[in-house]
Chain A
Amino acid sequence: MDTTTVNSNFKSEEYFINMGPQHPATHGVLRLLLTIDGEIIKKVQPDLGYIHRSIEKMCERDSYQQIVHLTDRMDYLSSHINNEAVCLTVENALELDIPERVKVIRTIIGELTRIASHCLWWGVMGMDVGALTTYFYGFRDREMINDIFEETCGARLTMNYNIPGGLMFDIHPNFVKRTKEFVTHFKTKIPEYDRLLTGNVIFQKRMKGVGILTKEDAISFGASGPVGRASGYSCDVRKHHPYSALDKVTFNEAIKTEGDSLARYEVRIMEMWESLSIIEQLIDNIPEGDYKVATNAVIKLPKGEYYQKVEAARGELGVYVISTGTKNPYRLKFRSPGFSNLSLLNHISVGGKIGDLVATMATLDLVIPDIDR
């Protein structure tokens, strides 16, 4: 008898199963082709492109001001940071002198965006492992940030607050007050997150030692953001290539060395604390001054190549622009963090169970429009 038989009646065989593209745990239209043997995963093949809009091709016909608005639609949970990446590329290429006020406001809103994104992730993370309650707690706190954004930017999700040269308009008079209120509020809420989920025995057992990614593999797979840092790989763009006002603040890079799902979870919780600390350092000292510098109505970048990397909520976002001196880029490439992070899913989930795949995917924090640019 074959040694792989499970019992005398059923023979162990590999077969295909589809996960998605409408599976709730894939957080969007991601389809995974799973090769499984019983409940053990043998291979995970992502099938992409369900919402690919070819933003890179659209950029080739758009002006630089228009491109900023397209980036909202990539990783919509860190839309402000995506906008910032394009604006920084344009500003560096034009060698614009950006006012300190703009830099500080951009950094504060960027960190608020990161917290909002991590709040949502924390909510759905719990939901993916069967704890529906967390969803409502996460959304409760994210709502406060969205209200701040709504007051200042007029939008809650696709903010379009950055423009090449500065900001669309000045901050709302309530911005400082409400941000401080949020910081005070949220400081009491992260410990609540820990009490609700982090210390939960079932949660710990689902997370610990699952989906292990070594440091070497993390680098080789191009992992970035919390996924890379959970494997002991120091990859925070804010530390290594600081932009905006990030060179003026002190913060610790959240790093864990275990490389498992729990480490990825804990890194994000630590990052929320660090983001709060960055906001606190800046919120009382927003310099006076202009909120933008004048640019030409038609922006033409000098001939050449420009690369700007920023730390989006999911990791390193890169904007690579090749300009031929016209008002449109000749080629614009977005290096999205989710794309590289997805490529390692097969590597860390093979040999595990389907249930663990859902939990592991949640710790990668994939946003599908970010992958299907």
Chain B
Amino acid sequence: MTNQALQDLIENWFPNPEADKVSEVIDVSVTEDTSEEKIETPESVNPSLLELTEEASQFLNITVQPEQFYALMTQLKNNADTHFDYLFCLSGIDWGEALGVVYHLESTAHRHIIVVKVKTEDRENPVLDSVCDIWKTAEFHEREVYDFFGIKFNNHPDLRRLFLTDEWDGFPLRKDYVDDINMVIK
């Protein structure tokens, strides 16, 4: 499936009640980055829930709000048209003001690739949903992210440090981590 077809399909899962009004605008701007604000349910008040873009990346990128993240991931895996059954890369990222996780997904049936990003602004106690029950490989990868970025995952069966010792202070891959002894700054 092409990126454009994927984008149209995924946008349909989270229909915007105002889509009729802006449909002409979308048709014109199909080749450009679409950052249309999508609202899942009419009662939801949170704007900009889903953001799709191909800018500065070879894959289609979706940025999703944490509240909708798990629902989107379940759909991506279970929908026969997308069928993203292979989570091949799960990376924690410190964006400075926000912490987040990037998921690279591939479909073994259709061979298309998508990137899902989720962020949280809370640096003190960042919490996101776990996808362990959708892709088993996430269990180890999420432990790695917890170890290095301190992001906690809801419903993770065994969230402990993976590489570092339990008494380690701080999360080394965060940008504001300081270690005068072990880190060589050039």
Contact = CB atoms under 8 A, between A and B. Distances in A.
A61 B186 contact: yes
A352 interface: no
B86 A54 contact: no
Interface in B106-137: 108, 111, 115, 135-137
Contact of A322 (B87, B93, B139): B93
B131 to A, nearest CB: 11
Interface string A300-326: 001111110100000010101010000
Interface in A320-373: 320, 322, 331, 333, 335, 339-340, 342-344, 347, 372
A219 interface: yes
B163 interface: yes
B162 A307 contact: no
A221 B88 CA distance: 9
B88 A335 contact: yes
A274 interface: no
Given A57-B172, A322-B93, A220 B163 contact: no
Contacts of A37: none
B173 A222 contact: no
Interface string A234-269: 110000100000000000000000000000000000
Interface in B3-17: none
A335 B89 contact: yes
Interface stretch (B23-31, B32-40, B56-64, B66-74): B56-64
B137 A52 contact: no
Q: Is the interface of A mostly helix, strand, loop or mixed?
A: mixed
A309 B162 contact: no
Contacts of B104: 307, 318, 320, 335
B89 A320 contact: yes
B163 A339 contact: no
B88 A318 contact: yes
Contact of A222 (B93, B135, B165, B185): B135
A307 B114 CA distance: 12
Q: Is the interface of B mostly helix, strand, loop or mixed?
A: loop
A304 B56 CA distance: 4
Interface residues of B, number: 36
B51 interface: no
B128 to A, nearest CB: 17
A342 B139 CA distance: 12
A202 interface: no
A48 to B, nearest CB: 5
A56 B173 contact: yes
B1 to A, nearest CB: 15
A28 interface: no
A56 B92 CA distance: 11
A100 interface: no
Contacts of B135: 220, 222
Interface of A: 48-49, 52, 54, 56-57, 61, 217, 219-222, 224, 233-235, 240, 302-307, 309, 316, 318, 320, 322, 331, 333, 335, 339-340, 342-344, 347, 372
Nearest first, the 8 A-B pairs at minimum CB distance are A304-B56, A222-B137, A49-B163, A333-B91, A343-B140, A335-B89, A220-B136, A305-B57
Interface of B: 55-59, 61, 85-89, 91, 93-94, 102, 104, 108, 111, 115, 135-137, 139-141, 144, 162-165, 172-173, 183-186
